[in-house]
Structure 1
Amino acid sequence: MTEVHVAIYDLSNGMAKGLSAQFLGPQHAIDIIPHTAIVAFGKEYFFGQGIEWCHPQEFRMTRGIHPIDIQSLGHTSCSQSEFEAWCRMQGQNGRFSATSYDLLSRNCNNFTEEAAREGLRLGRGIPSWILEVPQRFLSSPLGTMVRPMLEQMQLTNSAPTDVSHQMNDAQSYTPSATPAVAAAAAANPWADIPETPPAPKESNDTSSAGTPFLDKQTALLSTDTGVVKICLDRLNTASDQREILSKLGDAKYAWAHAELQSVHQMLRLFMNETKQISFALMLLRLVVLREPSTANIDKEESQSTEFVADLLLQNKLQSMSNRSMAWCVLSNAFGSKQLPSWTSSEDNNQSEKFLQLIDRAVIDCDPSVADASTPTQKALRQSASAFLYNTSRQLTAETNNGGADGNSELNEAIMSILIGCLENLGEENDSTSINRRYMCIGQILKSREFGQTAVGLTKDLGMLDVDMIQSASYDHIGDKVAKEVASLL
């Protein structure tokens, strides 16, 4: 007898409840956007590009998501070969083939339900409320607009293994090495930033290999375009405005300087309207990633990012979801381009506004606040910590100012980020926020210009229990980053 579990994921990374209420109305709000999978025989079976399978850890690392709950469905007398033969049959007869996906009746959750009851002959399937989520969305006034977003959220891309190619050799399967590419972003239309860093190909042993996990990190960017249409439908746009803004849905579109200039000006106007600010911010996070085909848009982009910074610093964003999106805008801007001109003062030091913004991000990363475990509070900490990480990458980029021995004096911005990420770290219980804070600390500690100074300060502060981190047995990639941080000390 083999025990069978269902792994339940939240594709919105905790933001569904608050933002679905905002988009769809409180009566249609949902707690999560669920994806489910069968976990049995040491594998995770799910419906994506047909019926697919891989080792559970590989699935979670390559997609950057982790279950919010794993429930036992009981024990099955069905053998692995019998179940996989059933899976093969479902793919061959078209029930769950690569092209048979249907939002209402044939999605990943419908597969998990049928796999449990029919394929594994269990007496129970997945919780009924999960199967009701699509209809709950579509019963709302905005259901027809939400449908494309839901369809995009299904895990149908970048599948590690296709059952139709591998089922016949199931007994010899072993998890493949995790690809040395950025983990697939969690399908969250508001902040699709990977939860954990990707594993390097070279080795999982960090004891003598330096900092391979930290070294392979790139900027944390939110790039999902799935909500462009919804935002346009909610913004009060004229036809010509809608035409140009709709191009944000095409990541490959070659933007002209005048077009980007117009979009920046347009969205700043929208952000002056309280009811439209959420949707304007969602679009602005994409705009700051776009490069003009000719000329330079720095002036307009700098004005837009300063505008968002002012919204945060002047407490004009009362909604935590709006604050999360504001950090997402700034994180994208600082992660993909040079720091905007307003972050520097006339003497090339950090401006007072920039330092205040870093302090505000540190405050929004604080896990000791009331209701810290709520999805909206976690989302806020995740977005703010992504901003701090991308900013630390910019501030520690190699310069021509010397300091290659790592002994340069820490400037105020770097010191604020380092201490802010160390503070209350032991109280944080959200894995995404923990990982990003460790990534940020590691980025500073391994800096060629500031590293040794930062290491000395961290040791003096005594805010990390290095012995505990080094002695722990870690399996999760994010935890291994913590171990690399400890090795730098």
Structure 2
Amino acid sequence: MATQSSQGTSTKHEVKLAIYDLSQGMAGALSAQFLGPNHAIDIIPHTGIIAYGYEYYFGQSGIEKADPSHFRSTRGLHPIDIHHLGETHVTQHEFEEWCRQHMTNGHYAPTSYDLFHRNCNNFSHHAATEALKLPKAVPEEILDVPHKVLRSPMGEFIRPMMQQMQISPSGDSSTNSLIGNQNNQQSQQQAKKHSHPAPTTDVNPWANLPSEKSEEKKEEEPSPKKRVKHVHTPTLDNYSSPMIANEKNMIDLCVKKLVESKSIASLENTLQSRLLSNLKQLPHIFQQNTSSNRNIDVIKSLLQDLMQILAFNITNSDKIYMLMITRLLVLDPTLTIEIISNVMTKVCPVVLDPTNKSTLRAIAWCVLSNILGSDLVNKNYENVEESMQEFVDAAVTCLSNDTPVDARRGAAAFLYNLACLIAMKDDEEIADLTVSIICASAEALPDEVDVDVVKRLFATIGNIVKTKGEINEKAASLIVDLGYGDRLTPQNLRVHGNDEVKSLAREMSNILTAISSEDC
């Protein structure tokens, strides 16, 4: 947004700072457990400068610019907050020339990324204060995150994982590098004195990677019988695939903690020996790309033992490490629906017990969410459908603001993944379970104070009322008939200031307005 200065001809340009959480909520839920309470962090931050209609950021391709909505949809990331930094008299040409110079001289070249001294947040701070000449920039607590982690007891262990955290290239023409191809080679050569090996993949040590846009296309299914009226909902449409927590980089730490655990050492000899043997094989199994019969046997045996021990009198920390491993094991395609059902039965008491620490309940919800997002359950949903009401009831109790936020996020992710499953079906009638999900989400939304929970609840309802690109008339009409329509408007939300939340609320209101205007 540009405005004319009161001093004359100079044009002022609004500048904002977009703040993202690369961990998608899991840093806040688990960092105290892994790093210690004095070193806990709320987010794994990525920031970008929004100015001149573009978002500017530093990653593997150096400094890039893109339309903000395009950046978010291609990365599956959405801001948790947007700070207004002020207005600048610096023109777009002057700013982009500053960016080009700092790429060419190697300061922000593609190979210059350094987590602790030259990362995306350092770029945002440097660009705001030096290039755009603004008094406000990136908050100190964001700039200090890498050093805070490193100062923790587990800092050196986690450092290799964090070294690889950066925004990867988008790989399409809609995102522009701010330096021409003719200068790339020169830029990279000049940057060698600053450079660190560039990782080939994005790594998230907090293991909560929502897959908002699945890479694999599901088979086309027949159009539902009762779908009417098209409404443009690009933000809601971004949420169409399950949230899967599938990052494996914490496995070594979890295995190490369990192998050294006094609780494990006190187990009966045969169980202890088998468990330790299987645990020590696990990191190697996860590194392999193929599944041998031996690996399958190890995974099944380990799952059975972990679920047996989960009911024992062991520490909360050990239960968390066990469930961090379980969330990955349940994604193995060689498992049977009987094994998965047993895991759900064993994990259910963890989320139902309000006396359990919120971190433990959060990771238990993560296990259950992964189960619902797995291909096995997607193909065999009817085998677990009867037990879902119990879990929905548990999720409803967790959505109260009296529940710590990490457990609320976990419960909301579970409801979202369940809604994704329900959306795959073509049932003409709305089941009682679906009604429970709609009511629970709609009741919680107006009073919810956490942006991530609000997004997941809107996405939950969105998957039910609009599936395969069309409105489910009966589901949308139910929301209107129950009087929830007015409760879901942007002005009635406590987090109405978040841009994505406003967009989700507007799109939901448009759907409900379309249904209300139908002469049915």
Instruction: Sort the TM-score into its range (normalised by shorter chain).
Output: 0.7 to 0.9
Deviation of the 1:90 alpha carbon: 2.1
Aligned pairs for 1:215-364 (under 5 A) are 217-236=240-259, 240-247=277-284, 249-250=286-287, 252-254=289-291, 256=293, 257-269=296-308, 271=310, 272=312, 273-274=314-315, 275-292=317-334, 296-315=335-354, 318-339=356-377, 351=386, 354-364=388-398
Q: 2:244 aligns to what SS in structure 1?
A: coil
CA 1:477–1:128: 2 relative to 1, 3 Å: closer
Letter in 1 for 2:481: D
Question: What is the aligned-residue RMSD (CA, Å)?
Answer: 4.1
Query: Which residue of the partner structure matches residue 392 of structure 1?
Result: 419
- The Cα offsets for residues 336-362 of structure 1, whole Å up to 9 and x where unpaired, read as 245499997xxx8964x5422210112
Structure 2 unaligned spans of 5+: 1-11, 183-200, 216-227, 261-274
Conserved in 2, the CA contact under 8 Å of 1:323 and 1:380?
yes
Conserved in 1, the CA contact under 8 Å of 2:55 and 2:67?
yes
User: Aligned pair count?
Assistant: 441
CA 1:255–1:78: 2 relative to 1, 3 Å: farther
TM-score by length of 2: 0.72
Letter in 2 for 1:421: S
Deviation of the 1:307 alpha carbon: 1.0
Deviation of the 1:451 alpha carbon: 5.4
Letter in 2 for 1:40: A
Deviation of the 1:227 alpha carbon: 2.3
Conserved in 2, the CA contact under 8 Å of 1:338 and 1:394?
no
Query: Which residue of the partner structure matches residue 88 of structure 1?
Result: 100
Conserved in 1, the CA contact under 8 Å of 2:366 and 2:414?
yes
- The Cα offsets for residues 405-447 of structure 1, whole Å up to 9 and x where unpaired, read as x2x3x44323322322232333234443334333333444457
- Is 1:437 the counterpart of 2:457? The answer is yes
Paired residue for 1:464, among 473, 485, 495? 485
- Is 1:192 the counterpart of 2:209? The answer is yes
Conserved in 2, the CA contact under 8 Å of 1:365 and 1:385?
yes
Deviation of the 1:467 alpha carbon: 10
Letter in 2 for 1:85: E
Conserved in 1, the CA contact under 8 Å of 2:420 and 2:463?
yes
CA 1:39–1:166: 2 relative to 1, 3 Å: farther
Q: 2:115 aligns to what SS in structure 1?
A: coil
Deviation of the 1:161 alpha carbon: 2.0
Query: Which residue of the partner structure matches residue 114 of structure 1?
Result: 126
Conserved in 1, the CA contact under 8 Å of 2:243 and 2:373?
yes
CA 1:33–1:455: 2 relative to 1, 3 Å: closer
Structure 1 unaligned spans of 5+: 169-183, 199-206
Aligned pairs for 1:1-16 (under 5 A) are 1-16=12-27
- Is 1:133 the counterpart of 2:138? The answer is no
CA 1:41–1:197: 2 relative to 1, 3 Å: farther
Paired residue for 2:408, among 381, 388, 392? 381
Conserved in 2, the CA contact under 8 Å of 1:191 and 1:325?
no
Segment of structure 1 superposing worse, 461-470 or 355-364: 461-470
Deviation of the 1:123 alpha carbon: 5.3
Query: Which residue of the partner structure matches residue 179 of structure 1?
Result: none
Aligned pairs for 1:160-199 (under 5 A) are 161-164=175-178, 189-193=206-210
Q: 1:424 aligns to what SS in structure 2?
A: helix
Conserved in 2, the CA contact under 8 Å of 1:335 and 1:390?
yes
- The Cα offsets for residues 290-313 of structure 1, whole Å up to 9 and x where unpaired, read as 212xxx533323222221113223
| Identical-pair percentage | 33
Conserved in 2, the CA contact under 8 Å of 1:48 and 1:98?
yes
Paired with 1:80 and 1:447, the residues of 2 have a C-alpha distance of 41
Q: 2:248 aligns to what SS in structure 1?
A: coil
Paired with 2:318 and 2:107, the residues of 1 have a C-alpha distance of 42
- The Cα offsets for residues 64-115 of structure 1, whole Å up to 9 and x where unpaired, read as 221424141x554433222212212222232222222112111112222322
Paired with 2:280 and 2:306, the residues of 1 have a C-alpha distance of 14
Conserved in 1, the CA contact under 8 Å of 2:206 and 2:250?
yes
CA 1:222–1:185: 2 relative to 1, 3 Å: farther
Paired with 1:362 and 1:466, the residues of 2 have a C-alpha distance of 18
CA 1:117–1:167: 2 relative to 1, 3 Å: farther
